[in-house]
Amino acid sequence: MSLNAQWMQRDLAVLWHPCTQMKDHERLPLIPIKRGDGVWLEDFDGKRYLDAVSSWWVNVFGHRNPRINQRIRDQLDNLEHVMLAGFTHEPVVELSERLVKITPAGLDKVFYADNGSSGIEVALKMSHHYWLNCDQPGKKRFITLTNSYHGETVAAMSVGDVALFTDTYKALLLDTIKVPSPDCYLRPEGMGWEEHSRNMFAAMEQTLAEHAHEVAAVIVEPLIQGAGGMRMYHPVYLTLLREACDRYGVHLIHDEIAVGFGRTGSMFACEQAGITPDFLVLSKALTGGYLPMAAVLTTNQVYGAFYDDYATLRAFLHSHTYTGNPLACAAALATLDIFEQDNVIEANKALSARMASATAHLVDHPHVAEVRQTGMALAIEMVQDKASKTAYPWQQRRGLQVYQHALERGALLRPLGSVVYFLPPYVITPEQIDFLAEVASEGIDIATRESVSVAVASDLYPNHRDPG
């Protein structure tokens, strides 16, 4: 038995994997990874895979990055962890100072959680609690966009809207208000992104007018709805939303867990709209993809509403055990150093342009409805019928065929349903981008051939992160 097969066997005897119908592994091999090296992942049989999705969007400077490794090692020699209530430490102070400095003006306080979903919970609770502290207990609902994704915990799911996934848990969810997304894939033929996003704002304006009295916050994924299929929209929507939230007395929460740290072409997506949200939630690339951590930045105004004598019971008593973990902070500090020292945002412009040119020919593919891009994220939407943008039935799992083909060719491309996308580490080379485009083209050709075995569909369920 190959080493890969041995590890797979031991794994399946004891593990339950995330976002997976485990029965899939009766026919789909698990891939045990032995080591990482830059953009590459290597399995136990020596095969290498180019990590085109940055290991679920976290890895920005490659696997086993020497600078991040060194910083974590140095931190390890001083302090691995200490609780953050009543105590503090050098890396968490330094990281907080730097996050305040590099984010838009007005975000002056940082609260930590230990994963993205928990960071969303922090922002939602803090927003409602702020209004409670301001004697407005009625402000307890949240407005969210259709096709949103904000994580897996119950409140985070409540503000999400990837239907086939959240529907299962509907009985558990908070009652949120959903407004149609400005998603530009759905724009009328011939209309530009800006005009469409601007038009879509009318529904948000109307909802705010109607519900502002009972709403604590609007939460959005700025510019890219990631798990919803890398759907994209114009920054004008965020500018309009900021202005309206101010006018109606409602908080604005930016979930930049996926898009923060350069993914959209600017360090943070909110910069492109020229705005400061009331809450900015960061995670994923925050630690360069090394360790789980989330940061929730907010304003001195929000902070001030909690600041009082203990007996008033206004404090935010939320806590996660690993809050502000020093090793995670060290990884984040090394990541920020690389952004600065290597002038990454500027350097990425050439890589974004290469992603566009390498995939330009796919626009003409008979089963590609759109090739869209925002900065370092590029998505290719496969459809059954190009003219009407009719989607493939999810049961056919066309994306899974792209996934399998890419693995054979040595690339990790994990489509979201029928959306093939590149979200590569920023240390990818132009030649490696060309390779990915080639593999994706081949995979799309294979996956969109007429005959598809539907036999696999019966025992599988759709999921937002599942390659089918």
Ligand X SMILES: *Cc1c(COP(=O)(O)O)cnc(C)c1O
CA dihedral over 61, 66, 70, 73, signed as positive or negative: positive
Nearest approach in angstroms of CB 33 to ligand X is 19
Residue 194 CB partners (closer than 8 Å, separation 6+): 234, 236
Burial class (CB in 10 A: 0-12, 13-18, 19+), 65: buried
Residues 146-165 touching ligand X, rule: CB under 6 A, are 149-152
321 is in an annotated binding site: yes
Stretch binding ligand X (CB under 6 A), from 7-15, 145-153, 401-409, 440-448? 145-153
Residue 12 CB partners (closer than 8 Å, separation 6+): 22, 25, 30
Which pair of tokens denotes residue 66?
Answer: 């020497």
Nearest approach in angstroms of CB 114 to ligand X is 9
Residues 116-135 touching ligand X, rule: CB under 6 A, are 116-117, 120
148 is in an annotated binding site: no
Integer Cα distance of 34 and 29 in angstroms: 15
Contact between residue 221 and residue 186 where contact means Cβ atoms under 8 Å apart = no
Coil vs helix vs strand at 218:
strand
**What string marks each residue from 68 to 107 as x (binds ligand X by CB under 6 A) or -?**
----------------------------------------
284 is in an annotated binding site: yes
Stretch binding ligand X (CB under 6 A), from 71-79, 113-121, 266-274, 349-357? 113-121
Phi-psi region of 101 (alpha: psi -120 to 50; beta: other; left: phi over 0): alpha
Contact between residue 333 and residue 95 where contact means Cβ atoms under 8 Å apart = yes
CA atoms within 13 A on the CB side of 250: 31
132 phi and psi angles, rounded to 5 deg = -60, -45
Produce one character per residue of 20-34: b if its CB has 16 or more CB atoms within 10 Å, e if not.
Answer: eeeebeeebebbbbe
Nearest approach in angstroms of CB 293 to ligand X is 9
Residue 148 CB partners (closer than 8 Å, separation 6+): 159, 160, 161, 162, 181, 219, 220, 221, 225, 228
Give the residue, chosen from 115, 299, 323, 374, that forms a contact with ligand X under the rule CB under 6 A.
115
466 is in an annotated binding site: no
448 is in an annotated binding site: no
418 is in an annotated binding site: no
Nearest approach in angstroms of CB 149 to ligand X is 5
- Size of the residue set binding ligand X (CB under 6 A): 15
Residues 188-247 touching ligand X, rule: CB under 6 A, are 221, 226-227
Integer Cα distance of 57 and 251 in angstroms: 27
**What string marks each residue from 253 to 292 as x (binds ligand X by CB under 6 A) or -?**
--x-xx------------------------x---------
Nearest approach in angstroms of CB 46 to ligand X is 30
233 is in an annotated binding site: no
81 is in an annotated binding site: no
Contact between residue 376 and residue 265 where contact means Cβ atoms under 8 Å apart = yes
Nearest approach in angstroms of CB 249 to ligand X is 25
16 is in an annotated binding site: no
Strand 215-220 vs strand 33-37: parallel, antiparallel, or unpaired?
unpaired
Nearest approach in angstroms of CB 225 to ligand X is 8
320 is in an annotated binding site: yes
Which one, 152 or 161, has the nearer CB to ligand X? 152
| Centroid of chain to Cα 58 | 8
Nearest approach in angstroms of CB 157 to ligand X is 10
Which residue has the CB atom at the shortest distance from ligand X? Answer: 116
Summarize the annotated binding site for pyridoxal 5'-phosphate as residue ranges. 116-117, 255, 320-321
Summarize the annotated binding site as residue ranges. 56, 116-117, 149, 255, 284, 319-321, 414
Summarize the annotated binding site for substrate as residue ranges. 56, 149, 284, 319, 414
Residues lying near ligand X in the complex (CB under 6 A) are found at 115-117, 120, 149-152, 221, 226-227, 255, 257-258, 283
